[in-house]
Amino acid sequence: MRTVSQVDVSDEDEYDIWADVMCRIFGHSLTMSEVGCAVLTDPAVRCYLAWVDRAPAGVVLLYSQFGMGYIDFVGTLPEHRCKGVVSALLTRTIADSQALGDRSTTLETTAGSDAERLYAGQGFRIAYYRHRYIRSV
């Protein structure tokens, strides 16, 4: 089985790769990546890209401000699942969050999901549950 070969903080030159992988993981249109490109100029935001055998495999985003890190867009491409991609991404992201001086690092997921179990294994604990409302247009 192939495993993660590296996890990098993506710079502006790699954003298109990061955005393509994120959009494929979450089923978003590539036009969504245009919205996110502007955040790369914000020093509080870091985009991480995991690689398996020189192929992009997964992504995560860290937003760090006011002593708190917030992790979002955690995901792995289907062909790279069960290779430790998310674990490697979270290990790096949490370490960087702490190095940035964050007193805590947080994320959200669906209750009872595989992701919730994975996050618990990474040391996260449930702080609270909340309702999410959506209205289609």
- The whole-number pLDDT of residue 36 equals 66
Tokens standing for 102?
């964050």
What is the third-level CATH fold of 6-108? Aminopeptidase (3.40.630)
- The whole-number pLDDT of residue 68 equals 96
Domain boundaries, the chain: 6-108
- The whole-number pLDDT of residue 1 equals 56
Tens of each residue's pLDDT in the chain, 137 residues: 567 678 989 887 888 899 899 999 988 887 777 766 766 667 889 999 999 988 999 999 999 999 999 999 999 999 999 899 999 999 999 999 999 999 999 999 988 888 999 999 999 999 988 888 889 88
- The whole-number pLDDT of residue 38 equals 67
User: What values do phi and psi take at 95, rounded to 5?
Assistant: -60, -45
- The whole-number pLDDT of residue 43 equals 80
User: For residue 40, which of 11, 74, 80, 6 has the smallest C-alpha distance?
Assistant: 11
Q: What is the pTM of this model?
A: 0.87
Cβ atoms of residues 100 and 64 within 8 Å: yes
- The whole-number pLDDT of residue 16 equals 87
- The whole-number pLDDT of residue 73 equals 92
Side-chain half-sphere exposure of 45, counting CA atoms within 13 A: 14
In the block, residue with structure tokens 């298109």 = 16
